[in-house]
A and B are shown apart, each in its own frame.
Chain A
Amino acid sequence: MSDSNTSDSIDRLATQPDLDGLVDSTKLQGLFEKAAYLPTKEILTLVKLAIKLGKPILVEGPPGTGKTALGLAIAQILATDIYRIQCYEGISSEQVIGEFNYQRQLLAIESSKHQKNQLTDVFTPDFFIFRPLLQALQSEKPVVLLIDEIDRSDEEFEAFLLEALGENQVTVPELGTIHAKSQPVVILTSNNSRELSGALRRRSLYLALDYPSVAREAEILKLHVPDLDEHLTEKIADLLRKIRRNENISQPPSISEGIELAKTIAMLGAEYLEIPLLNELLGILAKSGSDSIELRKQLMDQSTNRSIEPSKSAI
């Protein structure tokens, strides 16, 4: 099939997500909060800019800082579908664009042998299995495309994405160039485990996310666990910060783990952050044997170094 035929069959229509109502930062902040995500001013600007310019967002930061959650929240705000591509070493373009359905092609060829009208082409969209990237580009309504942990993929895959991200189109040799019907909001996340290429960075709006400050984390906890006592919320945020500062802990607790801890404490109806209670809930924060030992040690150190409320080993 020729290129022009493909372009005819697959419409070129670049519709953007509705920007009205998103330009106002206060309104946008409200929408984010409804989606249970507490945005910074930088994130609000980023979202407006990404939608207006139609540029992908590259979010970089350590694990558990809310990179993926940002994608999910944006999808919720735009009230649209989210297509997620989870990258890993060895992921190929076929796994995200799609591929021809070989079995179907063979069956079609075989069955056409006994028919008057011979089958002339089996490389048409009818025989093609559309996978997330192409589905996102082919969607009539703008969607959110979350390409998670892009740093885990190979450079070849990263290079392949350039066309899709820069031009909003994908080229399948047999089908030609397939243009986007709508402009998806693309979010790429990276844990910075390897250097991403300059070309990919150039095509994206860059956002560096780090663990939040104590005050901001307390606000996040409040948003997710409104029933929890304010004092206790601040204590949990403070505890999380201290744990993250401990360089002997290989996997610092993420924001979502902090939320889980807060939810559990609220569910148990605890009034103080007591060491015995925390020791029991250690599994929420520590994800390996060595981290668990280190955390236990840190909790003990903290309780002995600080003035503790009488008769309570609370921190």
Chain B
Amino acid sequence: MQNTTNSDQSDLDLEEQKPLFFANYSILDLVKRLRILGFSISLTELIEAHQLLPLVSDIDEVRLGLRMIFCRSKQDQELFNLVWMNFYKITDRETGRITDQPGLQTNTSNLNSQNLPATAFADGIGEQITMSLLKISSKYKGIVRQLFDGNIRNAAAIMMRYMLIESLTASEIMVRQQDIREQVENMVADAVKDIDPDISDELMQQLDAELDQIIKENLENPPRMKRNPLKLQEIGDIPLITLSPSPELSHALKVMGKKLASKHRARKKGNKKINLRQTIRANIQRGGVMLELRKQKKRPKKPRLLILTDISPSTIHATRLFLSIIWNAKWVYSDIRYFEFIGSTIDVTKVYRRAYSVNDGIQASLEAWDKTIAGKENSDYYLAFLNFTKMTKNKLSKRDTIIILGDMRDWLGPWQRGTPLSAGVMGKLRKQVKKMIVLNPEPQNIWDSSDSICKYAEKEGLEVYETTNLNKLVDVLLKI
């Protein structure tokens, strides 16, 4: 009997919770946040989200249900969870407190930490913090103020703006980030030292997370793009080494990748076989008398790619650009496996498949390299391709195309009778696959000097192309 009562009570609570959830947490608000992050949510999905309510029995089911409706990949799901974590709090306007809804439990471990600063304000300690901030003279005070107001997103956005000012390269931005972060941390720690020193760590963690998010968004949807888009004609002939990373360039590469994909998908003219099925259907109306021939549409070929990128300092820049283009055209290839090499080779396919963006993938793959092969930073094509042969043993077929992006400078590889042994290893691989293409970011006039193995590779049947700019790179990719 007791159980029944409890159950009834919990049902009642649930019924109270549901409208409360939708009253306080507007789905529109959640959708707005998700759209900023690049989720394309249609009106139909919005309606479906509202239809979810009668079906769910607790708040976790709301989360799961909305995630299923709004997400289209595992990466989307992870991003959704992040947004949900931040969304999952309600500000009570009367008290100024940030409170979690009673009974609405999520899996987020740091949820409680989010109400620390607001609680502090509500208890009258806010004034103390305000006074403490007044004494500080720093241009980064605005960041701290936003942090204490609970506007973590605003704080991170302001910090991002400071990071971008006067920074020309990614490394400069990172240095500025460290500098600003240090100053902000000191100010926060100073302001809360007499209240609760732990708040400082919590706030900084939230700031870091939000900043990561903003950086990720900027990489995916560069905000300045609409104002100053880079035209492909303008950058197509510029040498790769002079193209510095910027949101504009990322956007241009995205467009280039999509164009490459469209060109790949275009059906090529040529001999077409007769489509017997359609021919019979077309002629059946004449009693089966064959008057009209129907031909088969040629199916676009989808090559399976094995991409080996040289990540030595001399080629890493070209590697990034190349991978950015491939990333945006990846859906026209039936399968892509990614490998990295210098003095050895590692398979980073899984890393790229898990990545949110190409930059994310490159970053993670370089970390994987550091973990497994750190120390082999000099090019050794012999060892690298020997390793690659072992990794792909019995797995290569004539459907595969191997693409190597590298300058073909075999620093440490052994030579025998004036020939690099690495060329022999590559030759054996060449026989197993359909094509083996080398994209060389070096100008052709300096090939075949000192330790270059270009001509030996060509003798073994590899196709070596000069890809000193983006136009040449795309031209070669169209030949695959």
Contact = CB atoms under 8 A, between A and B. Distances in A.
B64 interface: yes
A35 to B, nearest CB: 20
A201 B73 contact: yes
A94 B276 CA distance: 13
Contacts of B139: none
B72 A202 contact: yes
A206 B394 contact: no
A25 B40 CA distance: 30
Given A41-B64, A194-B331, A106 B55 contact: no
Contacts of A122: 284
Contacts of B334: 193-194
A34 to B, nearest CB: 20
Given A106-B288, A206-B72, A290-B393, A45 B353 contact: no
Contacts of B461: none
A208 B277 contact: no
Interface string A73-108: 000000000000000001000100001101001100
B355 to A, nearest CB: 13
A109 B56 contact: no
A22 to B, nearest CB: 9
Interface stretch (A3-11, A48-56, A221-229, A253-261): A48-56
Interface in A196-217: 197-198, 201-202, 205-208
A149 interface: no
A154 B284 CA distance: 29
A106 B284 contact: yes
A48 B42 CA distance: 21
A49 B72 contact: no
A205 B288 contact: no
Contacts of B330: 195
A303 interface: no
B68 A46 contact: yes
Interface residues of A, number: 39
A60 interface: yes
Interface residues of B, number: 41
A14 to B, nearest CB: 16
A205 B68 contact: yes
Given A25-B57, A102-B284, A195-B331, A53 B277 contact: no
A56 B420 CA distance: 56
Contacts of B366: none
A201 B56 contact: no
Interface in B51-83: 51-52, 54-57, 60-61, 64-65, 67-69, 71-74, 76-77
A20 interface: no
A99 to B, nearest CB: 7
B280 interface: yes
A206 B68 contact: yes
Contacts of A301: none
A198 B68 CA distance: 15
B9 to A, nearest CB: 17
B29 to A, nearest CB: 21
Given A94-B277, A192-B353, A45 B335 contact: no
B55 A23 contact: yes
Nearest to B287: A109
A280 interface: no
B288 A42 contact: no
B48 A109 contact: no
A198 B72 contact: yes
A206 B42 contact: no
A193 B393 CA distance: 20
A109 B45 CA distance: 49
Contacts of B353: 192
Contacts of A206: 67-68, 71-73, 76-77
A192 B394 CA distance: 22
Contacts of B67: 206
Nearest to B281: A100
Contact of B61 (A41, A109, A207, A208): A41
A105 B283 CA distance: 12
Contact of B280 (A41, A102, A201, A202): A102
Contacts of B65: 45, 49
Interface in B366-394: 393-394
B295 to A, nearest CB: 15
A202 to B, nearest CB: 7
A205 B69 contact: yes
A198 B258 CA distance: 14
Contacts of A205: 68-69
B115 to A, nearest CB: 26
A109 B280 CA distance: 14
B299 interface: yes
Contact of B335 (A49, A193, A208): A193
A46 B287 CA distance: 51
A45 B63 CA distance: 10
A48 B74 CA distance: 21
A45 B288 contact: no
Contacts of A195: 330-331
A49 B68 contact: yes
Given A23-B54, A105-B284, 18 more contacts: A24-B57, A41-B61, A45-B61, A48-B55, A49-B52, A52-B51, A90-B299, A99-B277, A100-B284, A102-B284, A106-B288, A109-B284, A109-B288, A122-B284, A198-B40, A206-B68, A206-B73, A208-B73
Interface of B: 40, 42, 45, 48, 51-52, 54-57, 60-61, 64-65, 67-69, 71-74, 76-77, 265, 277, 280-281, 284, 287-288, 299, 330-331, 333-335, 347, 353, 393-395
The 7 A-B pairs of least Cβ separation, nearest first, read: A201-B72, A195-B331, A205-B68, A208-B74, A45-B64, A48-B55, A45-B61
Interface of A: 23-25, 41-42, 45-46, 48-49, 52-53, 55, 60, 90, 94, 99-100, 102, 105-106, 109, 122, 154-155, 192-195, 197-198, 201-202, 205-208, 247, 250, 290
14 contacts: A25-B57, A41-B60, A41-B64, A45-B65, A45-B68, A48-B55, A53-B48, A53-B51, A100-B281, A109-B284, A194-B331, A197-B331, A207-B68, A208-B77
